[in-house]
Amino acid sequence: EKGGYEHFMLKEIFEQPKAVHDTIHPRIKDNSIVIDELNMSEEDIKGIKKIFIIACGSAYHTGVTGKYVIEDLARIPVEVDLASEFRYRNPILEEGTMAIIISQSGETADSLAALREAQAQGIKVLGIVNVVGSSIAREADNVMYTWAGPEIAVATTKAYSTQLSALYILALHFASVRGKITDDELSTMIHELELLPKKIQSILDNKENIQKFATRFVAAKDIFFLGRGIDYATALEGSLKLKEISYIHSEAYAAGELKHGTISLIEEGTLVTAILTQEDLYKKMISNVVEVQTRGAYVLSITNEGNTECEKSTDLIFYIPNTDKHFTTSLAVIPLQLLSYYVSIGKGCDVDKPRNLAKSVTVE
Ligand code: M6R
């Protein structure tokens, strides 16, 4: 049932090109976005004043990427909330607010409670859900399914990737209905979306390179993940993936925050993974990488093909294919998933069923 793979996690990592294709493809028709199941008129979409994205764990991280993408493309203010925080903090949900609950299982207790809280305050909820017919799918006013198929490994990979895809689709749809992007821009971005599966595959074909780097990470006590903008959202996911299956302490930082505390933790040999996919932020990121290296850090950089500027100031480098700047999380996360996987098996951990964790968290 593992289809020849040693673990479900590896199998699911390799299923990502198909899962992403299956989530994107049915929603693209004649160079435009059509979300059949989305029960929102153009007027409804034009009337959105604010979006709350609410989720837990990795699903929350897709929401952080989603915030950058939706705000930049559709120009709608987005607040991202952890479900366990949202449900207890008496959130301000004014008219024109829309809630998006993201969940693979559709059964996460806090996410379900947050959905009910939003509805109780008269707010319509869109669920981005993987498990068909799950509680969140049934109770949401509207559902957009992610077509990842069953996910068995506790550490999410393909469901996470499809949640990102669903958010891109939604962002492009809102942006085009609200007149924030031209038809040409839309069709260029749709084209880039359609290329994502092939680009993910090309990274997977290169897995040996990441496997080599992983040997260097197995003995680490702490690992830091740095990024700015969308790369910060990717860093959050890279850090969670690593810690949950390898039991190595890791933290993600918005690189601009280094000077506000974190840099005091960097010493000779500290491992740092830097993510650099945003061209307008390359210079800032490179100077952060130099800052940590000067203090002894050993740095792995994940960056776009062609950003050779980065080579001078990093110990290891992994190139990902170029794509639209809004979609880079989908590519940069792949080497981070592989890194976590290889570090976990290198340490002899139970990669599919890490200690103390359950696949679906149905109690709070
Ligand atoms: O089923 P959900 O998407 O609602 O689950 C949310 C989190 O529990 C989940 O993403 C968790 O963080 C994973 N173990 C991460 O790999």
3-state secondary structure of 363: coil
pLDDT > 90? residue 262: no
Q: What is the pLDDT of residue 267?
A: 93
- Closest Cα to atom 14, ligand 1: which residue? 155
Q: How confident is the model at residue 88 (pLDDT cuts 50, 70, 90)?
A: very high
In tens, the pLDDT along 206-242 reads 999 999 999 999 999 999 999 999 999 999 999 999 9
Distance CA 182, CA 295 (A): 46
The amino acid occupying position 250 is S
- Closest Cα to atom 7, ligand 1: which residue? 57
The complex's ipTM works out to 0.98
Distance 109 CA to ligand 1 centre (A): 11
Helix axis angle for 230-246 and 329-346, nearest 10°, is 20
**Mean pLDDT across the chain, nearest whole number?**
96
Does pTM top 0.95 for this prediction?
yes
Q: Is the CB of 57 under 6 A from ligand 1?
A: yes
Distance CA 304, CA 286 (A): 13
pLDDT > 90? residue 363: no
Distance CA 82, CA 108 (A): 12
In tens, the pLDDT along 6-59 reads 999 999 999 999 999 999 999 999 999 999 889 999 999 999 999 999 999 999
**Residue 263 has what DSSP assignment?**
G
Distance 123 CA to ligand 1 centre (A): 24
359 labelled catalytic: yes
Distance 242 CA to ligand 1 centre (A): 14
For 285-307, the DSSP string reads HHHHHHHHHHTT-EEEEEEETT-
- Closest Cα to atom 11, ligand 1: which residue? 57
With CA atoms as reference, report the closest residue to 258 among 228, 279, 237.
Answer: 228
Region 295-315 average pLDDT: 94
